[in-house]
Amino acid sequence: MEIWKDIPGYEGLYQASTMGGIRRLERVDPLGRIWPAKDLIPQRLSNGYYLIRLKRTSEKAKGYGLHRVIVMTFIGASDLSVDHLDGDPSNNRLDNLEYVTSRENSIRAYKRIKKNPGVNFCEKTGKWRARIYFNKKDRILGTFGTEEEAVCERERACREIDEKGILTRPHNIRATKKLPKHIQKHFNRYTVKKVVDGKIEYLDRFDNLEDAINAKEEFVGEENG
């Protein structure tokens, strides 16, 4: 059953629901104008998360992450990160959200992408990208309409390297003599790091550069959630 509740700090103005919805309540402004009740449509950001804008009387509208508004309303405010349990930032139902530490949020994100290493979704193009690290180079194998196609291409490349020691049909090649940003090498292992509240946080270590590059895209640059 869907439950609606006033959003803290916006009581009498907006409500959030356990199903991830946001609605504006009917009200009369200082000029006597009537604002009817309305279901709000959140803005989808390039990283897949959703932004909702809330406005108090005589104030400018402020933007909030939809997932954070939902947990704040039903669980309470917190400085912790918000994790989507199924890994889908568009699923903002209360039962799919949970407060976790920044580190735990990053670890969970990495475990999700490890299901198909070397394959990730590119928000800019709306397609799936396959990549592999071979012969000291990060090779982009191509972009595909579905995750399954990207996985198949990477598996083909892995088989070709194992059986023939070569790789054909690379879409793009990037030399990796200089380590990518947010990755550093120490004692033949690669560490992924990011800055949290002005401090460097080391998230995980990997035996090879390919795994570190694959993990970096999920670890870095994303609003925790």
Could you tell me if 215 and 190 lie in one domain?
Answer: yes
Is residue 224 included in any domain, yes or no?
Answer: no
Helix, strand, or coil (residue 140): strand
Residue 187 covered by a domain = yes
Residues 116 and 211 in one domain: yes
Are residues 78 and 157 both part of a single domain? no
Same domain? For 42 and 117 the reply is: no
Q: In terms of domains, do 96 and 19 share one?
A: yes
Strand partners, 174: 138
Domain end, chosen from 49, 76, 100, is at 100
Among candidate residues 51, 69, 100, the one where a domain is terminated: 100
Do 115 and 58 share a structural domain? no
- State pLDDT tens for residues 169-209: 665 544 445 677 777 776 567 777 766 666 666 666 676 67
pLDDT digits (tens, 9 = 90+) for 36-66: 999 999 998 877 889 999 998 778 999 999 9
Examine residue 195 and state whether it is found in any structural domain, yes or no: yes
Express each pLDDT in 141-172 by its tens digit.
888 888 888 888 888 888 888 787 777 766 55
Residue 225, in any domain of the structure: no
CATH number for the domain harbouring residue 96 = 3.90.75.20
The number of folded domains in the chain is 2
Is residue 132 a part of any domain in this protein? yes
Whether 160 and 207 map to the same domain: the answer is yes
- Inter-residue contact 7 to 69 (CB < 8 Å): yes
What span, in angstroms and rounded, lies between the C-alpha atoms of 154 and 124?
A: 21
Residue 72 pLDDT level (bands cut at 50, 70, 90): very high
Is the CA virtual torsion 22, 23, 28, 29 positive or negative? positive
Q: In this structure, what token pair is assigned to residue 150?
A: 């990207």
139 in the same domain as 77? no
Domain interval for residue 34: 4-100
- Taking residue 194's Cβ as centre, other Cβ atoms within 10 Å add up to 18
Does residue 167 form part of some domain? yes
What percent helix, strand, coil does the chain show, rounded to 5? 25, 35, 40
Tell me, yes or no, whether 138 and 173 share the same domain: yes
- The two tokens of residue 219 are 């670890």
Distance separating the N- and C-terminal Cα atoms of the chain: 25
Give percent of the chain above pLDDT 90. Answer: 32
Domain boundary among 51, 71, 100: 100
Assess whether 152 and 212 both reside in one domain. Answer: yes
Q: Which residue has the tokens 């023939």?
A: 164
Same domain, yes or no: 30 and 123: no
